[in-house]
Amino acid sequence: MKDFIAIEDYSSSEIQELLDLAENLKNEWKLQGNRQILANKTLAMIFQKPSLRTRISFDMAMRHLGGDALYLSPAEIGLGKRESIADIARVMSGYVDALMARVFEHEHILELARWSSIPVINGLSDYNHPCQALADALTIQEKFGTLKGLNVAYVGDGNNVAVSLLHICAKLGANFAIANPEGFDLNERALNSGKKIAQATGCLVTILRDPHQAVQNAQVIYTDTWTSMGQEDEARIREKVFPPYQVNAKLVSEADSDVIVMHCLPAHRGHELTDDVADGSHSVIFQQAHNRMHAQKAILARLLGGL
């Protein structure tokens, strides 16, 4: 692993090894604190979008492993505007040990990786969200022991989070069903890639319009905001289209009795997710948020710590 750009870049065994490493690092941290395997290492964090979980989880992951993190705001960098991405990548490669970037355009991540001589981590792009997916899989593994053979239902917009969730489910042998309104489908290339992976691992990918059909026998129900950052001009249209896709108590009752409900946050309560579900017995949204830090420790340890 030189970079961490997309789940589809890695084999099933490599993804599983990262999950197991994340679980080990989490247990180690709880018992005695983590070994300082990233002492004298620095991660630069480039943000085009604001963030709570991405910024703090990466910052604390580096601190727990003995390293340091440097936050760079949109105003400080102007990625691809004030200075070319190629120049930024080559300058930063002489200052720090790794780059994490949270961007609008996926091409910006690819270009950073192309020109950097240090590891580049995709903290989010308009195409995918691999760090989130690794934390999601860790949360599911902690609950059920494995993803293989589970039924995962995603309800809502076929966005970047859905793309990486599809790919990690397919890599690890979980059946993936998505229910979304017409016109808000998964990226076609991402869907074809997910189907190809699923064929190799022996699981199913199902595309539906009906959320009630999607959650039948599901052990996991996942949802996300109806309107992502950068889509604010579509908010009114989306708020008219998506109410039938709300994850509420009735929808949850139609899934497996042991189902867990997931959301990558921030949640718009009363829209894609009701309060009683978000705070109810099936919800793991805060465990999921906390696992961002531990999943990212595994990525950092693999890229920088030699684990």
Give the residue numbers annotated as catalytic, written as ranges.
Answer: 102, 129, 132, 224, 264, 292
Dihedral angle at the C-alpha atoms of 128, 130, 132, 137, nearest 10 degrees? 120
Nearest of 105, 93, 133, 99 to residue 49 by alpha carbon: 105
Which secondary-structure segment (H or E) carries 217?
none
Alpha-carbon span 275 to 150, nearest angstrom: 26
Alpha-carbon span 39 to 242, nearest angstrom: 47
Whether the Cβ atoms of residue 152 and residue 219 lie closer than 8 Å to each other = yes
Nearest of 100, 102, 166, 180 to residue 137 by alpha carbon: 166
Question: What's the order of all strands across the beta sheet hosting 205-208?
Answer: 205-208, 175-179, 151-155, 220-223, 260-263
φ, ψ for residue 202 (rounded to 5)? 85, 30
Residue 287's SS3 state is: helix
